[in-house]
Structure 1
Amino acid sequence: MKIAAYAALAVVAASAANAGGYVAPVVEAPIEAVPAPVVDASDWTGFYAGLQYGKGNAELDYSGASADSDFDGFGAHAGYQRDFGKFVAGGELDYNKADLDAGGDADLIRLRARAGYDMGRFLPYVTLGAAHIKGDDDLSETGITYGLGADFKVTEKFTVGAEYSRSDFKDVADVDNADLDTDLVQIRASYHF
């Protein structure tokens, strides 16, 4: 009887062991996060136009003597630029009406090249070009202009920015060593087409 009991116990144990067999523990592989593709959210390529307003100073220097006048400068600008990845280049034409504190008005027209660094929605840039000033008192001179600024994209179509520029005019009214320099700080708003 003992033999029969041991045999029955062996059969039950063998059938239980064979029923499911050995099952290895399940080890789940760690989940790896896939980085999102880097997409340049802003493209600065295209035409743009807008308005600007600012404060400036004009200084006339002749043989060590100087006279200066502050002015409000307001006007419009239009241009085109091309985004080459991280580098942005283009050109711009702008018109500024200067209302001089010392009395009188002057028109400042500038044609400038722009070069900037694409930081997504932010574009710092430098400018270099030609400037022409025409005043109430038969003043009409052409000189050089240069500056720096930055634009920020509020939306893909609308930017705001700030800019400092300087325009230098040499030998004003054909008088040797009579130099006129203007400094202008402006805020700008542009629509991109």
Structure 2
Amino acid sequence: MKAAFYAAAASLVAGASFAGGYVPPVVEQPVAVAQTRADVDWTGFYAGLQYGQGSLDASVPGVTVDAGDFDALGLHAGYLRDFGQFVLGGELDYNNVEHDDFDGSADLWRLRARAGYDMGKFQPYVTLGAARLSGEDAKETGLTYGIGADFLLTDNFSAGLEYSHADFSDVDGTNIDLDADMVQIRASYRF
């Protein structure tokens, strides 16, 4: 009887240990973190060079004519403040403007506000401000606005492309309006 008791006890213990079968341990998979934009801070001073080409239109009431093309080489300096998603700042730039069809040159100064969208190393932006054109025959202040984008090549260097328009009304009281459209490439050092 003892043998039967031990056999029954052994079968119960053995049966209980195999009742559910082998269950492998649960291994939790690591959670994949989605890549976010690079943590870039656009805050700070910057300065650089720019080169561009543009076209000039002259108009009097009722008539607009193509006044030719020009090249512009210049310098820019400004300050930006990164507010997380949005970047705001101001910029002063100078361009030496050489008209393709005329001798001589003109100075183009622009003081502009700048508002951009922080997309990591890429920042599209818009500008709005005042422009001052000074040549041998004329001097005038007008409105300028534009759109552009900068890309950070390193922590301190950026390259960009910008389109701008300047509107000079009633130049020196002559009833002639000048409109300038310009596309520039830019290189900046960020401090």
Q: Shorter-chain TM-score: what band? A: 0.7 to 0.9
Shift, 1:36, TM fit: 3.6
Is 1:143 matched up with 2:138? no
CA deviation profile, 1:99-154 (whole Å, cap 9, x unmatched) = 111222111000000011111111111000000011123x1111110000111111
Shift, 1:65, TM fit: 5.3
Letter in 2 for 1:129: G
Match of 1:105 in 2: 105
**Tell me, what secondary structure is at the counterpart of 2:119?**
coil
**Tell me, what secondary structure is at the counterpart of 1:120?**
coil
- In 2, Cα distance between the equivalents of 1:45 and 1:109? 24
Match of 1:162 in 2: 161
Q: Alpha carbons of 1:119 and 1:39: their partners in 2 closer, same or farther (altered >3 Å)?
A: closer
Match of 2:152 in 1: 153
Q: What pairs up with 1:1-193 in 2 under 5 angstroms?
A: 7-8=2-3, 11=6, 14=9, 22=17, 25-36=22-33, 38=36, 40-63=38-61, 64=63, 66-103=65-102, 104-137=104-137, 139-175=138-174, 177-193=175-191
- Unmatched segments (≥5 aa) in structure 2: none
Letter in 2 for 1:140: K
Identity, in percent, stands at 54
Letter in 2 for 1:108: L
- The number of residue pairs the alignment matches comes to 186
**Tell me, what secondary structure is at the counterpart of 1:119?**
coil
- In 2, Cα distance between the equivalents of 1:29 and 1:163? 56
**Tell me, what secondary structure is at the counterpart of 1:28?**
coil
TM-score between the two structures when normalised by the length of structure 2? 0.85
Are 2:52 and 2:183, in contact at CA under 8 Å, matched by a contact in 1?
yes
- In 1, Cα distance between the equivalents of 2:47 and 2:8? 88
Q: Alpha carbons of 1:65 and 1:114: their partners in 2 closer, same or farther (altered >3 Å)?
A: closer
Are 2:37 and 2:120, in contact at CA under 8 Å, matched by a contact in 1?
no
Shift, 1:16, TM fit: 8.1
- In 2, Cα distance between the equivalents of 1:10 and 1:167? 105
Shift, 1:62, TM fit: 2.3
- Higher mean C-alpha deviation, range 10-19 or range 36-45: 10-19
Q: Alpha carbons of 1:67 and 1:10: their partners in 2 closer, same or farther (altered >3 Å)?
A: closer
TM-score between the two structures when normalised by the length of structure 1? 0.84
Letter in 1 for 2:160: G
Are 2:37 and 2:119, in contact at CA under 8 Å, matched by a contact in 1?
no
CA deviation profile, 1:63-84 (whole Å, cap 9, x unmatched) = 4253502111111111111111
**Tell me, what secondary structure is at the counterpart of 2:110?**
strand
RMSD: 2.5
Are 2:38 and 2:121, in contact at CA under 8 Å, matched by a contact in 1?
no
Shift, 1:11, TM fit: 3.6
